Structure 1
Amino acid sequence: MKVKREYSCGLDAAVDVIGGKWKALILWELHHGTARFAELRRRVPGISEKVLVQQLREMEADGLVHREVFHEVPPRVEYSMTDLGRTLNTALLPLGEWGEENMSGISERRWGGEPAA
């Protein structure tokens, strides 16, 4: 159960919603449009099934992601961004651009120029 807390500023609230290794990457992948669970798992390398389920549930609870269940055989579930998720994704765009511009330098400083595993 999540504990209700007061945020000290807007950045505190935003980081709480998007915090963790995977949420920003999942949201970024959903900007391409609606995706099924298996598609997201393929498009976010390294994420486990358990973690993807957990992150999607949290993002749905936070109003960032919409989950639609189709009652058919075989069952189908699709995920898409909500309007709130789209506004957050727009806010992440400059962060992604900063990462692109600085990726090689970050790698060198963190791993001494060795390729990432």
Structure 2
Amino acid sequence: MPSLDEVTAAVAGGPVDVLITHETIDGGTAKVEAVLRSNPQRWDEAALEYSRRSRRLVTALWGGVIPDLFIHGHLHTADRVELPTGQRIVSLGSDRQKKNIGVIHLGDLAWTWID
């Protein structure tokens, strides 16, 4: 989990092209939001609260640095979305799942899964 000081310092640095974190943001991809609503891994309340706090910080970071491409793991749910703003979110699967790794093409920041 990032600290508030780390988020503040990162945001002070200005916009970024790519943001890579472990945690997701609030309002990310559809599949990740479904996992958060349904809790299929049956995380206890302490783990859920830790994730909520972490997501609030990462969401603040996301809003402050306005990345074109945001990549995260944590929820082990492969998905991607392009928002109306043109920003893209990629959620990685876990080890041994398909779509747990990919390539960022630096010319246009396109994302390609490696299956």
* TM-score normalised by length of structure 1: 0.33
Q: Which has the higher strand share?
A: 2
Q: Which has the higher helix share?
A: 1
* TM-score normalised by length of structure 2: 0.33
- Greater RCO between the two (CA within 8 Å, min separation 6)? 2
